[in-house]
Amino acid sequence: MPADAQQTLAGPATLEGTSLHTGEKVTLTLQPAPENHGFKFRRVDIADQPFIDADVSKVQTVERATTLAEGSVKVHTVEHVLSALVGMGVDNAIIEMNANEPPIGDGSAGPFVELIKKAGIATQEAPRKTWEIREPLHMETGDGSLITIVPDRKFRVSVTNVGPGGRFAQYFSTEVNPETYENEIARARTFVYYEDVKPLLDKGLIKGGSLENAVVVRGDQVMSKEAVRFDNEFARHKALDVIGDLMLCGKRLLGHVICVKPGHGPNTKMAAKLKEQYSQMRALAAPFEIPRGEAVLDINDVMKLLPHRYPFLMVDRIVDFEGDNKCTGVKNVTINEPFFPGHFPGHPIMPGVLQLEAMAQVSSILMLRKPENAGKIGYFMSSNNVKWRRPVLPGDTLYIQAEMTKARGSIGQTSCRCLVNGEIASEADLKFALVDN
């Protein structure tokens, strides 16, 4: 299991409450989901119980909340529950609702954090897909909002909030992980300015809104059933929204997100920009299509499939495929190999660990033959039943055979052996994972 593996919920958990806009009762259930599933909403109150992907391409409106739509089916105010899932380290989940928006609760993500803790978190086998930002990204809107994402080995958010007329200027910055999210971000409540919501109240909208689920600002006064939870609660809630909205790009990020006057509009525009850049980056390296029939892959073909290069590329060519389950590669061992001068120089022997590496590389090529795995790379995860039976010497031709014994999603297991002149030199059972390149 990789050190940074994907996570889902250990079981279902249900929350009941009132929806913000209609004031109606709504039941929300978080359900586990398989690896690489991501987040999907499901409207269980509709006959065919349709799904809506939590994806920026589904964003319909961003006025005071983020709304997703698939055809005529909509889900409103998705940012709080998505933020909680991301902040608490969940990668895959189904969010079922019997109405078009989640319960508003107290206007924070706190109730969803408690729901996630109630469900529990289960670790999955596939490695987590995280995009590390390598070049700064910047976006500005005409109303003074700006978002910049700069490289960072952690996921960090820094927010400057400035209200109308410069009121309630606040700043908040933190690394985002489950501990900081639960303690520093989740409890920050949504806030509104009275002059913005009064027209909606007059029209009978936001029927579920009250001083119990939002902080209302009237002039310079804060109106709330409860005192502010933090002296910079507004900036913290903006960070909460940013985390949920940016996840609509489809990737967890490693980077420092710096925002001034963020909102759902700028947030989702940045999510779209992130998704577009990621797609362009992936398009630069078109995946090499492995032939479906009998074929020989020369060294140039091998290098299109494997990221390894001298001195760690251990496969010179692929000489045989047997269906989708068997593959044979060749390594020509010469006295000029870089490891011979330091590995028993008076009696040169190919290191056993490099034979193991050769088996892993051929196994990766075998797994990459599946069309759904095109363009990915293989990470060696574990080895069992490893045996070395005879030395491999300069001048030997090493035949590396791999047979797929188990494949589930991006995880594969193979039974491998290296042969010289028809004799087994080494053998092992390997486990590896394929991840996006």
φ, ψ of residue 360 to 5 degrees: the values are -65, -40
- Record the tokens describing residue 410, joined without a space: 């991006």
Mention every residue, 6+ apart, whose C-beta is less than 8 A from residue 294: 320, 321
Beta strands in 106-188 (DSSP E): 121-127, 130-132, 137-140, 146-150, 155-161, 170-175
Query: Cis bond leading into 394, ω under 30°?
Result: no
Query: Is 308 known to be catalytic?
Result: no
- For residue 101, give the H/E element and its range: none
DSSP-derived secondary structure letter, 391? -
Burial class (CB in 10 A: 0-12, 13-18, 19+), 173: middle
Reading the block at residue 251, the tokens are: 């990737």
Instruction: Say which of 80, 256, 264, 308 is annotated catalytic.
Output: 264
How many angstroms separate the CA atoms of 186 and 184, rounded? 6
Which alpha helices (DSSP H) does 8-109 contain, by range? Answer: 79-87
Give the SS3 label for residue 23.
coil
What's the CA gap between 349 and 333, in Å, rounded? 10
Query: For residue 70, what are the β-bridge partners?
Result: 73
Amino acid at 29: T
Quote the CA–CA distance of 108 and 213 in Å, as a whole number.
8
Catalytic-residue membership of 343: yes
Residue 316: CB atoms within 10 A of its CB come to 19
Helices (H) and strands (E) in the chain, counts: 8, 25
CA pair distance 425, 174, nearest whole angstrom? 53
Q: Using CA atoms in the order 43, 48, 54, 58, what is the torsion angle rounded to 10 degrees?
A: -110
Catalytic residue among 256, 308, 343, 347: 343
Helix (H, G, I), strand (E, B), or coil: what is residue 300?
helix
176 vs 244, 387, 406, CA distance in Å?
Answer: 12, 44, 36
Residues labelled catalytic = 264, 343
